[in-house]
């Protein structure tokens, strides 16, 4: 069984013909002839952001920070934190006793949902379905069809680029939550939720604005019911299905993922239901350093192994361009 893990780097580097901007070495010099830095392309305003870019100073990010309730006092700490996910976890912990944090956290949730949805809508107009995700799944299916292997896809991204690619290549739909784990070929688990998921709240309310919900969030209780409308965490039945499948994993591919989510790493390492022994591993990152960090965070760095180890630092686009040379196929073989 193959486990494919997508992180924010996969969405960031999702279109081969629209490569991510890379800093110029010459532009970093503090001597010699001044370097003229070209203005960023207009589409960069809507490139799916990395985790540490979610609270950047893009010209349309700032208005969103106050649209659903004000959390601007938290922005400096979110921008300078070594881990945005870690800082958000701290805010979530503080919200257990501080009502103001509870409201700010709800505002951040609405902000992220709207930001990512807006980015995705504009990004779709740029790539028109020509994505690294679709090319990757096209190649993957050639292997899966010939071997009849299971493929489980896990993502920490809120966007729906994976769903769009699976619909394009496999004809899969995701109209209901059961659709994510129904197909015998591919399962999709979105551990952090999705822009088109939502929790029902008790009591049932009909607010005039999202800001009204954020300001009064302490008065509501999240129910166990989900809707395909807003943003939420992963449904329990998806987590249960993933937990029951991990002991069958023999190959892992990570694409644009730093492997910093401790809870998921814990699931992989759980003695009875996690990985059973060593696995083949391919790590795709935007840099050699990033690939090595993912390897370390997964705990495979010092592990002596006869299984395959493949690290690439040229990103998702680099992997897709190597398909014709059989790089991916060689790993899967």
- Could you tell me if 137 and 165 are in contact, meaning their C-beta atoms sit under 8 angstroms apart? yes
Residue 32 lies in a domain: no
What CATH number does residue 138 fall under? 3.40.50.1220
pLDDT at 303 over 80: no
Which tens digit of pLDDT belongs to each residue from 93-133? 998 888 888 888 888 988 999 999 999 999 999 999 999 99
Q: Does residue 319 belong to any structural domain of this protein?
A: yes
Are 161 and 133 a contacting pair, CB within 8 Å? yes
Domain annotation covers residue 76? no
pLDDT band at 31 (very low <50, low <70, confident <90, very high): very low
Q: Is residue 94 part of a domain?
A: no
Cα separation of 13 and 132, whole Å?
A: 8
Domain total in the chain:
1
In a domain, 96, yes or no: no
259 lies in some domain: yes
Overall pTM > 0.85: yes
* Cα-based angle 54, 58, 64 (whole degrees, multiple of 5): 70
- The pLDDT, as a whole number, for residue 326 is 81
Residue 102 falls within a domain, yes or no?
no
Q: Does residue 258 belong to any structural domain of this protein?
A: yes
Q: Which band of pLDDT confidence, cut at 50, 70 and 90, is reported for residue 199? A: low
When mean pLDDT is compared across 22-31, 82-91, 157-166, the lowest value belongs to 22-31
- Give the residue-averaged pLDDT of 177-187: 94
Q: Which domain holds residue 255?
A: 2-14+130-195+234-332
Is the pLDDT confidence value at 228 over 60?
A: no
């Amino acid at each position: 069984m193959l486990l494919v893990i997508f992180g924010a780097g996969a969405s960031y580097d999702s279109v081969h013909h629209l490569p991510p901007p890379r800093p110029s070495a010459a532009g970093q010099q503090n001597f010699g002839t001044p370097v003229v830095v070209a203005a960023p392309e207009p589409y960069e305003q809507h490139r799916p952001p990395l985790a540490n870019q979610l609270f950047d100073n893009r010209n349309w990010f700032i208005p969103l920070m106050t649209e659903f309730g004000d959390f601007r006092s938290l922005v400096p700490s979110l921008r300078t934190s070594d881990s945005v996910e870690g800082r958000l976890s701290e805010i979530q912990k503080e919200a257990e006793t501080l009502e103001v944090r509870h409201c700010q956290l709800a505002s951040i949730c609405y902000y992220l949902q709207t930001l990512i949805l807006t980015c995705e809508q504009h990004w779709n107009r740029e790539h028109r379905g020509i994505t690294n995700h679709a090319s990757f799944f096209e190649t993957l299916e050639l292997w899966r069809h010939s071997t009849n292997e299971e493929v489980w896809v896990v993502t920490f991204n809120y966007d729906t680029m994976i769903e769009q690619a699976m619909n394009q290549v496999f004809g899969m739909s995701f109209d209901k939550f059961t659709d994510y784990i129904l197909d015998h070929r591919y399962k999709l688990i979105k551990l952090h939720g999705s822009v088109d998921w939502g929790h029902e709240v008790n009591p049932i309310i009909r607010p005039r604005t999202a800001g009204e919900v954020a300001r009064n969030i302490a008065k509501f209780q999240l129910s166990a019911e989900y809707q395909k409308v807003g943003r939420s965490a992963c449904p329990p039945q998806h987590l249960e299905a993933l937990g029951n499948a991990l002991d069958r994993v023999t190959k892992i591919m990570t694409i644009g993922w730093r492997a910093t989510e401790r809870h998921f790493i814990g699931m992989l390492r759980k003695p009875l239901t996690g990985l059973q022994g060593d696995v083949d591993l391919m790590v795709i990152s935007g840099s050699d350093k990033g690939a090595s960090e993912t390897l370390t965070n997964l705990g495979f760095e010092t592990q002596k192994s006869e299984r395959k180890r493949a690290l690439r630092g040229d990103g998702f686009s680099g992997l897709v361009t190597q398909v014709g040379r059989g790089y991916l196929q060689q790993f899967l073989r």
